[in-house]
Chain A
Amino acid sequence: MTDLAQPLPAAGFQIRPRRLSPEASRARTRSRYAAEQRFKLVGLLAVLTSLGLLALLLSTVVLQGYSAFVQTQIRLPVALNAAELDPDGRRDPAALAKADYAAVLNDALYRLFPEVTERRAKRALRGLLSTGAAIQLRQAVLAEPGLIGTTAELWLLASDDIDQLFKGFVDRSSAQADRRVTDAELGWVATLEQTGRIETTFNKWLFTNGDSREPELAGVWGAIVGSFYMMLVTLCLAVPLGVGAALYLEEFAPKNNRWVDLIEVNINNLAAVPSIVFGLLGLAIYLQLFGLPRSAPLVGGLTLALMTLPIIVVATRAALRAVPPSIRQAALGIGASKIQMVTDHVLPLAMPGILTGTIIGMAHALGETAPLLMIGMVAFIMNVPAGPLDPATVLPVQIYLWADSPERAFTERTAAAIMILLGFLLLMNLFAVILRQRLQTKW
Chain B
Amino acid sequence: MVSPMNAPQQTPRPAQTGSAQTSSAQTGLVQTGLAEPARAGFGAPAPAASPVPEPRMTARNVNLWYGQKQALFEVSLDIPKHQVTALIGPSGCGKSTFLRCLNRMNDTIEGVRMEGDIRLDGRDIYDRSIDVVELRQAVGMVFQKPNPFPKSIYDNIAYGPRIHGLAQDKAELDEIVENSLKGAGLWTEVQDRLDTPGNSLSGGQQQRLCIARAIAVSPEVILMDEPCSALDPIATAHIEELIDALRANFTIAIVTHNMQQAARVSQKTAFFHLGKLIEHDDTEQIFTNPRQSMTQDYITGRFG
Decide yes or no whether A334 CB sits under 8 A from chain B.
yes
Closest-by-CB residue of B relative to A334 is B160
One of B91, B137, B145, B199 near A334 (C-beta < 8 A):
B137
Contacting residues, chain A, for B303 (C-beta < 8 A): 1, 4-5
Determine if B87 is an interface residue (Cβ-Cβ < 8 Å).
no
Task: Determine how close the nearest CB of chain B comes to the CB of A241; give it in whole angstroms.
Answer: 26
Contact of A256 with B110 at beta-carbon distance under 8 Å, contacts A334-B140, A334-B159, A335-B133 already known: yes
Which stretch from B146-154, B168-176, B181-189 is at the chain A interface? B146-154
Within 8 A of B (CB), among A102-161: none
- Nearest CB in chain A to that of B91: its residue: A2
Which residues of B122-172 are within 8 A (CB) of A?
133-137, 140-143, 145, 147-150, 159-160, 163-164
B304 at the interface (CB under 8 A from A): yes
Binds A, one of B28-36, B46-54, B76-84, B209-217: B209-217
- Complex Cα distance, B216 from A333, in Å, reads 12
A219 to B16: give the CA distance in the assembly, Å: 79
* Interchain CB contact under 8 A, B150 and A1: no
For A334, what are the chain B residues with a Cβ–Cβ distance below 8 Å?
A: 136-137, 140-141, 159-160, 213-214, 216-217
A304 at the interface (CB under 8 A from B): no
Q: Are A332 and B163 in contact (CB under 8 A)?
A: no
Q: Is B20 an interface residue (CB 8 A)?
A: no
Contact B199 A332 (CB under 8 A): no
Give the CA-CA distance A441 to B210 in the complex, in Å.
19
Chain B residues with Cβ under 8 A from A337's Cβ? 133, 163
Q: What secondary structure prevails in chain A residues at the interface with B?
A: helix
* B110→A333 contact, CB < 8 A: no
**Residue numbers in B under 8 Å from A335 (CB-CB):** 133-137, 140, 160, 163-164, 217
Closest to A5 in B: B303
**Given that A326-B147, A335-B164 are known contacts, is A4 also in contact with B137, CB under 8 Å in the complex?**
no
A333 touches B301 (CB 8 A): no
Instruction: Check B103 for interface membership: any CB of A closer than 8 A.
Output: yes
Q: Which of B105, B148, B163, B197 contacts A333 (CB 8 A)?
A: B105
> A2-B304, A255-B110 are known contacts. Are A330 and B147 too (CB-CB below 8 A)?
yes
Measured between beta carbons, the chain A residues less than 8 angstroms from B134 are 335
Which residue in chain A gives the minimum CB-CB distance to B136? A335
Residue B108 CB within 8 A of the other chain: yes
Whether a CB of chain A sits under 8 angstroms from the CB of B302 is yes
For the complex, is A442 an interface residue (Cβ under 8 Å from B)? yes
B147, B150, B159, B214: the one within 8 Å of A329 (CB): B147
- B60 smallest CB distance to A (angstroms): 24
**Given A4-B303, A330-B143, A335-B163, are A441 and B137 also a contact pair (CB < 8 Å)?**
no
A71 CA / B147 CA spacing, docked (Å): 63
Give the contacting residue for A1; candidates B141, B214, B304; CB below 8 A: B304
Instruction: Check A330 against B149 for contact (C-beta < 8 Å).
Output: yes
Which chain B residue shows the least CB distance to A340?
A: B163
- Measured between alpha carbons, how far is A2 from B302 in the docked complex, in Å? 9
Q: Are B143 and A333 in contact (CB under 8 A)?
A: yes
Question: CA separation between A4 and B90, bound complex, in Å?
Answer: 12
Closest Cβ of chain A to B280, distance in Å, is 21
> Does A330 lie within 8 Å of B210, measured CB to CB?
yes
Cβ of A336 and Cβ of B301 under 8 Å apart? no
**Does A327 lie at the interface of the complex (its beta carbon under 8 Å from any beta carbon of B)?**
yes
CA distance A58 to B142 in the complex (A): 57
Checking A4, A255, A324, A328 against B301 with a beta-carbon cut-off of 8 angstroms, the contacting residue is A4
Checking A333, A336, A345, A349 against B214 with a beta-carbon cut-off of 8 angstroms, the contacting residue is A333
Contact bitstring A308-321, B, C-beta under 8 A = 1, else 0: 00000000000000
Nearest chain A residue, comparing its CB with the CB of B141: A333
Query: Smallest CB–CB gap between B152 and chain A, Å?
Result: 12
Q: CB of A193 within 8 A of chain B?
A: no
The CA-CA distance from A335 to B214 in the complex, in Å, is 10
Chain A residue with minimal CB distance to B164?
A335
Inter-chain CA distance A333–B214, complex, in Å, is 8
The contact string, 1 if C-beta is below 8 Å from chain A, for chain B 197-234, is 10100000000001001101100000000000000000
CA distance in complex: A7, B187 (Å): 50
Chain B residue at smallest Cβ distance from A2? B304
Bound-state Cα–Cα, A222 to B108, Å: 53
Task: Say yes or no: A332-B143 contact (C-beta < 8 A), given A4-B302, A345-B149.
Answer: no
Q: Which residues of B contact A324 (CB under 8 A)?
A: 147
Contact status A330-B136, CB under 8 Å? no
Contact: B149 with A336, CB < 8 Å?
A: no
Q: Does A100 make an interface contact (CB < 8 A)?
A: no
Chain A, residues 51-82, CB within 8 Å of chain B (1/0): the string is: 00000000000000000000000000000000
Q: Is A344 part of the contact surface with B, judged by Cβ < 8 Å?
A: yes
Per-residue 0/1 for B275-299: is the Cβ within 8 Å of any A Cβ (1 yes, 0 no)? 0000000000000000000000000
Residue A13 lies at the interface, judged by CB distance under 8 Å to chain B: no
The smallest C-beta distance from B219 to any residue of chain A, in angstroms, reads 9
Q: What A residues does B108 contact at CB under 8 A?
A: 328-329, 332
Residues in A with CB closer than 8 Å to B137 are: 334-335
- Chain A residues with Cβ below 8 Å from B159 are 331, 334, 336, 344
Whether A443 is near chain B, meaning CB under 8 Å from some CB there, is yes
Find out whether the CB atom of A333 lies under 8 angstroms from the CB atom of B136.
yes
Residues on the B chain within 8 Å of A5, using CB: 303-304
The minimal Cβ–Cβ distance linking B2 to chain A, given in whole angstroms, is: 15
**Cβ–Cβ < 8 Å partners of A326 in chain B:** 143, 145, 147
A442/B199 in contact, CB under 8 A: yes
Cα–Cα, bound, A340→B213 (Å): 16
Residue of B nearest to A336 (CB): B163
Contact, CB under 8 Å: A327 / B163: no
Chain A to chain B contacts (Cβ below 8 Å), 8 pairs: A324-B147, A329-B108, A330-B213, A333-B103, A333-B105, A333-B143, A335-B136, A443-B150
Please name the 4 residue pairs, one residue from A and one from B, whose CB atoms are nearest each other, closest first: A335-B137, A326-B147, A333-B141, A335-B136
Interface residues of B (CB under 8 A from A): 90-91, 103, 105, 108, 110, 133-137, 140-143, 145, 147-150, 159-160, 163-164, 197, 199, 210, 213-214, 216-217, 301-304
B-binding residues in A (CB < 8 A):
1-2, 4-5, 255-256, 324, 326-337, 340, 344-345, 349, 441-443
- Please give 13 more A-B residue pairs, beta carbons under 8 A apart, in addition to A333-B103, A335-B133, A344-B163: A1-B301, A2-B90, A4-B301, A4-B303, A256-B110, A327-B147, A329-B105, A330-B210, A333-B105, A333-B140, A334-B217, A335-B136, A336-B159
